Structure 1
Amino acid sequence: MAALTAWFWNERFWLPHNVTWADLADPEPGVEYPKAGHVLSALPLALGIFAVRILFERFIARPCAFLLRIQASGHRVAQPNTILEKVFTSITKYPDGRRLEGLSKQLDWDIIKIQRWFRLRRNQDKPSLLTKFCESMWRFTFYLYIFIYGVRFLLQTPWLWDTRQCWYNYPYQTLTPGLYYYYITELAFYWSLMFSQFTDIKRKDFLIMFVHHMATIGLISFSYVNNMLRVGTLVMCVHDASDFLLEAAKMANYAKYQHLCDMLFVGFAMVFVGTRLGIYPLWVLNTTLFESWEIIGPYPSWWLFNALLLVLQVLHVIWSYLILRIAFKALSRGKVSKDDRSDIESSSDEDEQVVKDPRKPAVIHRHPTTKGENGTNGHLTLGTWAQEH
């Protein structure tokens, strides 16, 4: 175990040439450098954030939802049927053609009726608009708060105005209380998302979001350990700039303010593209790739850090293309398509009233249009922008 620890914390990987962990020990009282153990403090804070979220959704978000006339109304209930219920719970929620034919003969029902039963039964397990509104309001509140805090903090720092300050005297850059709070709070929030993902609305991109949260936690922790906090704050602030607009658009849609939803989504698209394709590469990547090379020179963890940031930029390009495509459709059609990750399914004329419920959330995700289970075109879906980180 000691050998594994020594290998993992190899100074030649983590630190610039001729720098050791001993050099980063606190040189004098009142002066502190980031330490790997600090990131562990994010875990109890994450539990605290999760608890605050529960209280917030119950005592603040729910009353706001009721004021907006968003009710916890349930979905249409499927007709009780023991045989179909057993298939649904024990075998499959999406029966194929052969199984549908067998069930049709066994129950003397036509296949369309059985398909409708499974669709209604699946919808019964999906959350109400009230639940989704409360989740979005919590995320909106946190994203707005952390973005405002980040801007206020960075306005007081020299590296906001001169990014070369991120590398002067590196890695001997002291850890201030504000810098520690900003970093650990962001890290704790993403840990809380990891915890709550298992109790939140279950969506089709559950695994993608799980990997996303893990990658975000890893990148924040990585930059903390090797004291790249200054440039890390720039990365976090750039990524936080658009998240609250996305959640605001979703809230507006749940509350049936479709025009407001469309405007917020278009605003989100503009901010997302401006920050991820403009500010991020021209400002952040410029300093991490070129200014840092000139001032401190490359070393192993420097290469890995920049590789991760470049991968993130590739994702920004892909996401921006898809977001702009959705925004264009929103402007040309007058509304944004529905979110097929968590909304009510429907493929028949009988269920048309459910599909066209104007409270459905806006679409903002990244999956290309695919064929639905009934052969109709699917929709791009509302995604996880966090972050994103």
Structure 2
Amino acid sequence: MATAAAETLGLLWGWLWSESFWLPQNVSWADLEGPGDGYGYPRAQHVLSVFPLAVCIFSVRMLFERFIAKPCALRVGIKDSPVNKVEPNDTLEKVFVSVTKYPDEKRLKGLSKQLDWSVRKIQCWFRHRRNQDKPPTLTKFCESMWRFTYYLCIFCYGIRFLWSDFLMMFIHHMIGIMLTTFSYVNNMVRVGALIFCLHDFADPLLEAAKMANYARRERLCTTLFVIFGAAFIVSRLAIFPLWCSMPSGPT
């Protein structure tokens, strides 16, 4: 039984990594190992460096939001207002957490009889309880400022790193991450880099527009959203499908 399962697993593994499926003719996985001169090609184990890097980025984000983004938010007039908590009620809290955050009329009437509260009072309790879980404007501003800074820096870094290949800098989010990882493992680094750079192009403008909205700078917010829309259309709906994805485009 165990032998048959092992053989089946071996066949499945061999099919999954079939050189005839993944690689061009007369090319093997051994060819992707790279020269033995110490430089080498990308390897699958290099992906493990993502985890300590993620910890470092998360730490930098915490420090940035606390010591840079928050003072900036307060400076533009966003208040650090405390969260107004609703009146504690075990019965309503249990319904809110375990059943529904939006009780229907039948449930409202049942709770009204059970607690001897008016339906209107219970509706207000649920509305305030929902608002209690929403992040305050200050928190959202800090998050957007962090993303604005991160996207802008990563995009600028991508331009600097790939300046000799600037015409090749465009291709697509969650799927993009998987494609980029796979491309790195298989020594197709340029394709992964194009995906990230194409996505990063318009993101700083979106986060800047959100920051302006949180700061109640309506004219600046509208202007930035218009610029973001134009940048998004040009980069993702024009350059990507009409240039990067065409067989005659950069490869």
Q: Give TM-score, length-normalised by structure 2.
A: 0.85
Q: 1:14 to 1:255 in 2, by over 3 A?
A: same
Are 1:67 and 2:27 counterparts? no
Rg comparison, structure with higher value: 2
Are 1:257 and 2:217 counterparts? yes
- Equivalent of 1:275, from 220, 235, 242? 235
Distance 1:103 1:250 in 2: 39
The DSSP-based 3-state class of the residue aligned with 1:115 is helix
- Equivalent of 1:113, from 118, 121, 144? 121
CA contact (8 A) 1:238 1:279 kept: no
Q: Tell me whether 257-266 or 86-95 shows the greater mean CA deviation.
A: 86-95
Distance 2:55 2:90 in 1: 41
Are 1:26 and 2:34 counterparts? yes
Once the two structures are aligned, what percentage of the paired residues are identical?
A: 59
1:221 corresponds to: 181
- Equivalent of 2:197, from 217, 237, 245? 237
- Equivalent of 1:52, from 41, 60, 71? 60
Distance 2:240 2:138 in 1: 35
2:148 corresponds to: 140
Shift of 1:290: 4.8
For residues 86-114 of structure 1, what are the alpha-carbon distances to aligned partners after superposition, in whole Å with 9 as ceiling and x for unaligned?
A: 32234322212210111223334332332
Q: In structure 2, give the amino acid aligned to 1:135.
A: E
Q: 1:18 to 1:290 in 2, by over 3 A?
A: farther
1:17 corresponds to: 25
Are 1:87 and 2:95 counterparts? yes
Distance 1:94 1:139 in 2: 32
The DSSP-based 3-state class of the residue aligned with 2:103 is coil
Larger helix fraction of residues? 2
CA contact (8 A) 2:76 2:215 kept: yes
Distance 2:119 2:245 in 1: 56
CA contact (8 A) 2:141 2:211 kept: yes
The DSSP-based 3-state class of the residue aligned with 2:138 is helix
Q: 1:8 to 1:47 in 2, by over 3 A?
A: farther
Distance 1:78 1:40 in 2: 45
CA contact (8 A) 1:14 1:226 kept: no
Q: 1:85 to 1:25 in 2, by over 3 A?
A: closer
Shift of 1:30: 5.0
2:50 corresponds to: 42
Distance 1:291 1:92 in 2: 52
For residues 188-214 of structure 1, what are the alpha-carbon distances to aligned partners after superposition, in whole Å with 9 as ceiling and x for unaligned?
A: xxxxxxxxxxxxxxxxxxxxxxxx64x
Q: In structure 2, give the amino acid aligned to 1:238.
A: L
1:381 corresponds to: none
CA contact (8 A) 1:69 1:255 kept: yes
The DSSP-based 3-state class of the residue aligned with 2:245 is helix
Distance 2:216 2:108 in 1: 37
Equivalenced residue count is 240
Shift of 1:6: 4.0
Q: 5+ unaligned residues in a row in structure 1: which ranges?
A: 167-211, 296-389
1:285 corresponds to: 245
Shift of 1:226: 2.5
Distance 1:247 1:27 in 2: 43
The DSSP-based 3-state class of the residue aligned with 1:222 is helix
The DSSP-based 3-state class of the residue aligned with 2:27 is coil
